């Protein structure tokens, strides 16, 4: 079965610009969550969407936003880009139940953003 697909894989932006990243989850998965990975910080949770509603949010400024569509595809947007936003942005999907099953998230390969 097809995995989690993220586009674009690589992009370069300049400070002050905005960027939109896209994520297509595994078929049947209703939860999509986003993580930022930077050197020395590991993966940090941005937010999670389930059935088009934001269900959880991490400690990131309001410049980071997201949405989910009725087909479970998700986008995240970063406005007014800063140098520190350079990172690998990972999308993960799951069936999204509140009870732990395996707690398994299926990650995409990520979108690597470089801000100059």
Partner 1 sequence: DQQVKQNSPSLSVQEGRISILNCDYTNSMFDYFLWYKKYPAEGPTFLISISSIKDKNEDGRFTVFLNKSAKHLSLHIVPSQPGDSAVYFCAASDTGTASKLTFGTGTRLQVTL
User: Using CB under 8 A as the criterion, which residues of the chain lie in contact with partner 1 when the complex forms?
Assistant: 4, 31, 33, 35, 40-45, 48, 50, 55-56, 58, 90, 92, 94, 96-98, 100-110
DSSP the chain: ----EEE-SEEEE-TT--EEEEEEPPTT--EEEEEEEETTTEEEEEEEEETTEEEEE-S--TTEEEEE-TTS-EEEEE-S--GGG-EEEEEEEE---SS-SS---EE---EEEEE-
> Residue 15 Cβ, how far from partner 1 at the closest point, in Å?
26
> Residue 82 Cβ, how far from partner 1 at the closest point, in Å?
21
> Residue 59 Cβ, how far from partner 1 at the closest point, in Å?
10
Q: Which is nearer to partner 1, 4 or 115 (CB)?
A: 4
Q: Which is nearer to partner 1, 39 or 62 (CB)?
A: 39
CA–CA dist 16, 21 (Å, integer): 16
Q: Which is nearer to partner 1, 79 or 107 (CB)?
A: 107
> Residue 16 Cβ, how far from partner 1 at the closest point, in Å?
29
């Amino acid at each position: 079965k097809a995995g989690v697909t993220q586009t674009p894989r690589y992009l370069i932006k300049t400070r002050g610009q905005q960027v939109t990243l896209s994520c297509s989850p595994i078929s049947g998965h209703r939860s999509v969550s986003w993580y930022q990975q930077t050197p020395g910080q590991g993966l940090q949770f941005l937010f999670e969407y389930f059935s088009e509603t934001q269900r959880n949010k991490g400690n990131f400024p309001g410049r980071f936003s997201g949405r989910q569509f009725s087909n479970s595809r998700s986008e995240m947007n970063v406005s007014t880009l800063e140098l520190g936003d350079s990172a690998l942005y990972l999308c993960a999907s799951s069936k999204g139940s509140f009870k732990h099953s395996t707690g398994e998230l299926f990650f995409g390969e990520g979108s690597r953003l470089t801000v100059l």
